[in-house]
Structure formats: structure tokens, C-alpha cells
Copies of this chain bind each other. A is one copy, B any other.
Amino acid sequence: MIEYDALIVGAGILGLSTAYHIKRTNPNAEVLIIDKLNSSGQGNTAKSAAAFRCIFSSSTNYTLANSSVEFYRHIQEDIGIELGLQWLGYLWLLDGANYRETVQVFKKLEKTLNLEYREYGEKDLADKLQLQTDLTKDEEAQIMGLKNILGGIFIPKAGVMNDVDCLVKFYQNEFMKLNGKIEYGVKAEKLLVEPNKPLEMPGEPFFWQYARVAGVKTDRGQVRARKTILVSGAWMPTLLDSVGIESYIKPKKRQFFTLPASNSGLKQLLKSKGFNSLGCMPFTILPNIRIYIRPFPKEQSYWVGYADEFPRAFNLEENPQPEKNFYEFGIYQVLTKYFPQFRDVRTSSASAGLYEVNTLDGHPVIFEENDLIVVGGASGSGITKADSIGRISAALYNQEEYAHLYGQTKFKVSDLGIRKRSTEREKLIL
């Protein structure tokens, strides 16, 4: 039976990027990706908001995102492969509770990392977006604890992808061009654990033996590998629990809802001027309760979503469903207070997926234990960071101390590991 050099479990965006960068740096290595679905990027990658941003409060996350976004720009603008990037920018709306703190975060990033951003005042925003900034006289809004919007911060280096599949196909194609292999419809059921030095005794490995992950048992037989690389997102913790490895990743349901621009107010909102060169509303985040609004100017629609916290369960649902009440009694109630244009608009579709939340610090985890490399915990910003995560995972595979991210930024691989982890707590999670 063939022993692959690298077996990647999961053909989502992170698995593809990891596989590509491993193969790119090891052209002669036998690299196989397996995925339980029938093509790439069909799991939670397909169920994301397909947005990207260079901006995070921690310099680690910033580096991961900024370098990835620059790489995507390079692919589209220099190489000429269409990724469908639309530089709408991100607009964070701020209320009294978070205004000062958030502005400080951005000022610091401007100073240390040369981040470009613009501040918008309350009146300006009200005017540009027909935004209801003052909720003082709205009794319901007061009961709901909603605060007035005092201003906003806009980041130009951010936006959305028309179709995340372009990026998925880019990594897949590049990987295939290098003779990488992908097998679909193969489900990893169990990690194969074997002693490093087998004694050919039944019951091995015994606990006094050094043992390693030698591949995976799938529903279509064993696949053996020198290094097994688990990049299966929300499904990872189950496999890791079965061998007692902690990744600090938990699955959590995330949902978003499609709203057609079915009235003149919403049609106009899509064409909001004064933010980007596309003459479009930016990807916008409400204050405090961070509901996001992702515009689709071509499709004349919006996605709205919210990553709710307590008491939302950590739960690995096989087929998570969007909840009608989550929109109607949740998002709708808050959204229409600030954006009255959305009143009486009905959702035309809805989607739910599982995010893989890193509960340590909101950063990805990339580490190796017993020949098993674990890559995940992107906490909802996998697309934004996919290229950097792939490069760092490849550097770990190559036993290098530093990864070279796009743009020649050096990144210490162990910073995202478990034992020598070095990160700051992220404050700008959506």
C-alpha cells in the first residue's frame, strides 16, 4: 500500500491552500487530499459570507489576513486569474460603548502596521446610508438596549468575493497542475495510530511505546501517510478527541439570510456613494450586537448575519438549518431600528453552516503532535486568512521555524502552535 508523504483531510479552503503550499514547496512529494463531499469547498467554505478584510486588532491576525488579501489581489490583478474580488471596504458602526476603544485599536494599527482607515461622523453616515443613528426616542430600541451610533470606521482594504468558488478553484487547479491528487466521496472515520517501532504484537501500541498517527481509516479503506494533516474544520474535534489531542476548536452554528432589495430605500442603499470607487454600500457591521450586512449590488440583494454567543451551543450538527425566529425576532428587530429600509422585507433564502471557533484566543491553531498536523480554528475568517494559514502549515510540514508569507513577511510557525503559542486576544471578531 502506498504511503503518501502528506495526506490532507478536508478539501475546504484551508485544506486546499495547505495542500497547494506543501506541494509547491515539495514538488516530488506524494500529496493527497481526501474529502467526504463530491467536490472542493462544498462544506462550510461554501456557507461563509465570502467576505475578506485585512483588519483585526491583534497583529498576528492582521498579518495573516493582510498578507492573504494581498496575495488574492496579486492573483487577480497581476496574474489575471479572476477571483471576483470586490473592494467594497468594511464599515464598522460604533456606539458609545465601543467607540473610544475601537478607535484606539485602529489608531494603534495605523501607527504600527500602516493600516489605512477613515473615520465617518454620525451625521455623515446618517446622510450617506439613510441610517437611523439616534434611537433615544424609540421606546422599543431602548427596551432592547440599543445605543445611538456615534460614528463609524471604514477600512478600504476589505470587501467581498462574488463567488468564493473562484478562490477554491484557484487553489485546487494550482495543486492539480503540480500533480497533486484529490479523492472525493471519501470520509475519514478514524485516525490510524501505530507504534513508531512495531513489535508485531497484538494490542499495539502499548502506552510505553512511542506511537504516531499513520494515516486515516476511511469508509473506503485505509490511507497511510508520513504526515496526516487534519483540516476538516468543525468536524476535527471529534477525530482529535478520539486520540486525546486538544485543539481548542469547537463547532458553532452560524446563519445568514438573503434579503432582496425589494423597495426603493434598499435599492438606493446598495448604491451608497462616498465609501468606495464601486459606488456601493460597504460590508457594514452594526455596533455592539455585531450584525453584518453584506451587499450584492449585481444581484440586487443583501445577506445579513450574526454570530451569536451565549447561549448558542457548541454543537456538531450534520445538517444545520437556519432558524426563522433567529431572523424574525433577532436580526430583523435590531437591523430595522438602524436601517428602517429593511422593514417588512422578507427573506428570500437562508443558510446555516458550522464555524470552527478557536476558544483560546480567536486565532487559528497550527500544530503537530505524533505526526499529525492540525490546522484550523479560523473562527469564521478562514477565507480572509487562507493563504497565510496554508503557508504556515506547509512550513510546519517542512520543519521550518519561520513561514514566508506573501509579501515576504516572516511568521514564526510556533506562534500559532499550542506549546509556545504567542498571540493577543482578538477584539474584532464578527
B205 touches A333 (CB 8 A): no
Is A278 part of the contact surface with B, judged by Cβ < 8 Å? no
Task: State which of A12-20, A25-33, A153-161, A312-320 sits at the interface with chain B.
Answer: A312-320
Is A306 part of the contact surface with B, judged by Cβ < 8 Å? yes
Is A143 part of the contact surface with B, judged by Cβ < 8 Å? yes
Contact of A325 among B191, B203, B369 (CB under 8 A): B203
B145 touches A310 (CB 8 A): no
Task: Name 12 interchain pairs, CB-CB below 8 A, sorted by A.
Answer: A143-B199, A144-B209, A145-B209, A145-B210, A208-B289, A241-B313, A242-B313, A243-B311, A244-B311, A246-B314, A248-B248, A248-B359
Q: Annotate A141-157 by CB proximity to B: 1 below 8 A, 0 otherwise.
A: 00111100000000000
Is A38 part of the contact surface with B, judged by Cβ < 8 Å? no
B208 touches A243 (CB 8 A): no
B208 touches A146 (CB 8 A): yes
Is A184 part of the contact surface with B, judged by Cβ < 8 Å? no
A330 touches B206 (CB 8 A): yes
Given contacts A199-B143, A206-B329, A207-B330, contact A370 B310 (CB under 8 A): yes
Q: Annotate A230-245 by CB proximity to B: 1 below 8 A, 0 otherwise.
A: 0000000000011111
Given contacts A313-B244, A314-B244, contact A207 B306 (CB under 8 A): yes
Is A308 part of the contact surface with B, judged by Cβ < 8 Å? yes
> Across the interface, which residues of B come within 8 angstroms of A309, CB to CB?
207, 244
B329 touches A203 (CB 8 A): yes
Is A23 part of the contact surface with B, judged by Cβ < 8 Å? no
Is A166 part of the contact surface with B, judged by Cβ < 8 Å? no
A206 touches B333 (CB 8 A): yes
A335 smallest CB distance to B (angstroms)? 11
Give the complex CA separation of A329 and B199 in angstroms: 12
Give the complex CA separation of A122 and B193 in angstroms: 36
> Across the interface, which residues of B come within 8 angstroms of A224, CB to CB?
none
A145 touches B208 (CB 8 A): yes
The 9 tightest CB contacts between A and B, nearest first, are A243-B311, A246-B359, A241-B314, A207-B308, A193-B311, A244-B312, A242-B313, A207-B330, A206-B329
